[in-house]
Amino acid sequence: PSLNSTYWSLFEAAGGPENVAAILGRPHGYIGADDGSAPAGLRFDCALKLRTLDAEYPEPMRMQSVPGGNFLLTRHIGAYDKLPDAVDRLLLAALAVPELAIADEPMLFHYIDDPETTEEAALRTDVYLKISD
């Protein structure tokens, strides 16, 4: 619920949902939990890719670039509270390949669908895991 209200605040600061090209998120830490809840103390960057950018934006908003490079990607379809399962599968796949080294970067979630207009079971989220070069 607090993430949802944070995203709505971002939409308002960005000039409304029509100015949003992508809804993104970056957890700083492991999000997995048996009950789908976030662990205590988890920091999560709520982010938007905007269609147009004004020169000024309100605090505590800030501009941040996502570093390029190589990523492993999985697509999760369904409720957001099941994202930890997709993260676990992605991490297991990465760890199963000895030649891959996971970068010390937060994962990136790209929330493709608008949860206000898309049925929960059909929500698509791409989860990116940065791999060291």
Which range, 4-8, 32-36, 62-66, 67-71, is most confident?
Answer: 67-71
Residue pointed to by tokens 């790209």: 110
Give the gyration radius of the chain's Cα atoms: 15
Residues 6+ apart with CB under 8 A from 106: 26, 27, 28, 45
Structure-token pair, residue 90? 């992605």
Report H helices in the chain.
2-13, 83-95
d(CA 19, CA 85): 31
pLDDT in tens, 95-132: 999 999 999 988 999 999 988 899 999 999 999 999 99
pLDDT in tens, 3-51: 778 888 888 888 888 888 899 998 887 666 555 555 666 788 888 888 8
Phi, psi of 73 (to 5 degrees): -130, 140
Residue with token string 């994202």: 83
